[in-house]
Structure 1
């Protein structure tokens, strides 16, 4: 299936996708605030520039888009056009994510990934369920975990 846009239009559209203050980041920020956590955002001094740093609990939180970070869920679809290009690009994101999370853990940080599918879409978790999972992990002692539509898992596997 051919792309409905020419290369220049597609490129312009892709450049317009924000990397900061996204809808999923805004939702997570509201949940963290409502639970009483203080945090900083996008700390450039840390590997991977985590979306949220909750220093009081020595933890960082990433919000990962299911497409851009290759989550095995209903929101991820392999593009029908330029498939090889996209799989290579997404693969590099995944490799970089794994490297950054390893570095953060080595520096003594705890790492949580909250997947886009947990925050939006037809299978998203409720605010109450998300807040409970966030509090459970932040106040707990696990080094690494992820939250998706299934809840919380004590690992950082992709899907």
Structure 2
């Protein structure tokens, strides 16, 4: 399939995609704040620069876009038909970086939560329920939590 825009337009469009302060991230931050949680953002001193850091709970939250982080078996992830090799390498590199950051954080006794975009995006989704799940996790002692819309296949 041929791209419907020229390469300079596509480049400008891709450059406009944000890596932080995305809509899903802003939504989760707003709901957490409303529930009384206080946090830091994008801590450069932690592996992977987590989107949300809750020092009081020694916990971090990553909010992953299903496309950029290659969410397996997700309706929001589809490998592009053009430049497939480039996108496959990029997404695999992102996944490797994610795994490395999570391993380093867990080894440093940080608790890690991953919220996938598909769990909060869509008309029938309930972001309040996702934040309640996060709040319950913060009150508990589990080291790792992954919130996704698709079933986990392990």
Q: Report the Cα distance in structure 2 between the residues aligned to 1:17 and 1:128, rounded to whole angstroms.
A: 26
Q: Report the Cα distance in structure 2 between the residues aligned to 1:5 and 1:136, rounded to whole angstroms.
A: 46
Q: Report the Cα distance in structure 2 between the residues aligned to 1:85 and 1:21, rounded to whole angstroms.
A: 25
Q: Report the Cα distance in structure 2 between the residues aligned to 1:16 and 1:128, rounded to whole angstroms.
A: 28
Q: Is the 8 A contact 1:114 1:146 kept in 2?
A: yes
What TM-score comes out, normalization by structure 2 length? 0.92
Structure 1 residue ranges, 4+ long, deviating more than 3 angstroms after superposition: none
Q: Is the 8 A contact 2:41 2:52 kept in 1?
A: yes
CA RMSD, 1 decimal: 1.8
Q: Report the Cα distance in structure 2 between the residues aligned to 1:139 and 1:21, rounded to whole angstroms.
A: 26
Deviations 1:102-151 (CA, angstroms, capped at 9, x unpaired): 01111110100000111212453x13311221111111111111111259
**Unmatched runs of 5 consecutive residues or more in structure 2:** none
Q: Report the Cα distance in structure 1 between the residues aligned to 2:150 and 2:138, rounded to whole angstroms.
A: 18
What TM-score comes out, normalization by structure 1 length? 0.90
Deviations 1:74-101 (CA, angstroms, capped at 9, x unpaired): 1001101111110110000000000011
Q: Which residue of 2 aligns with 1:74?
A: 75
Q: Report the Cα distance in structure 1 between the residues aligned to 2:146 and 2:28, rounded to whole angstroms.
A: 14
Q: Report the Cα distance in structure 1 between the residues aligned to 2:128 and 2:10, rounded to whole angstroms.
A: 38
Q: Is the 8 A contact 2:53 2:60 kept in 1?
A: yes
Is 1:136 equivalent to 2:136 in the alignment?
Answer: yes
Q: Is the 8 A contact 1:51 1:60 kept in 2?
A: yes
Q: Which residue of 1 aligns with 2:36?
A: 36
Q: Report the Cα distance in structure 2 between the residues aligned to 1:122 and 1:83, rounded to whole angstroms.
A: 30
Structure-2 change in CA distance of 1:150 and 1:85 (3 Å): closer
Q: Give the number of aligned pairs.
A: 153
